[in-house]
Amino acid sequence: MVAEIDIVVRLVVAVILGVVVGIERDMSRKPFGMRDAALISMATALFAIMMSDMASEDLARLLPAIVTGVGFLGAGVIIKVGVHVHGMTTAAMLWVLVGIGYGVGAGMLFAPVVATFLVLGVLLLKYRYRKLE
């Protein structure tokens, strides 16, 4: 059983990491922003925490269900307009936020924190390339 303080810490960390990733989306004025990112990260952490408390179930069995659900969400945000495709970054963020939230919920901290800052770095690269143009 996960201690109550551990649950609070994991959920807060998941929200903070989601906010860090989502800040860039808000800066870019994208519809999928900080609140959405924080909620997805926290929800996945919550599912992982609840699953880890169920003695009869294995935490790894939850992941395929979450991945499938996020796949449908991701497919729903991808839109083709003429020759342009929009929403790919949002769909990719959904996947990575699930990974971050799941890792935190499962009790890992190092990998999700590193992943968060790598994602933020990748998202911020576009600002670097805009300056070069």
Divide the 133 residues of the chain into consecutive groups of 10 and give the mean pLDDT of each group. 91 97 89 92 92 66 79 83 86 92 93 96 78 57
How far is the CA of 8 from the CAs of 4, 18, 62, 72, 126, in angstroms? Answer: 6, 15, 21, 29, 35
Q: Is 32 helix (H, G, I), strand (E, B) or coil?
A: coil
Provide the pLDDT for residue 63: 75
Sequence-distant (≥ 6) Cβ neighbours of residue 15 within 8 angstroms:
38, 41, 42
Domain ranges in the chain are 4-132
The length of the chain is 133
Q: What is the DSSP letter of 79?
A: E
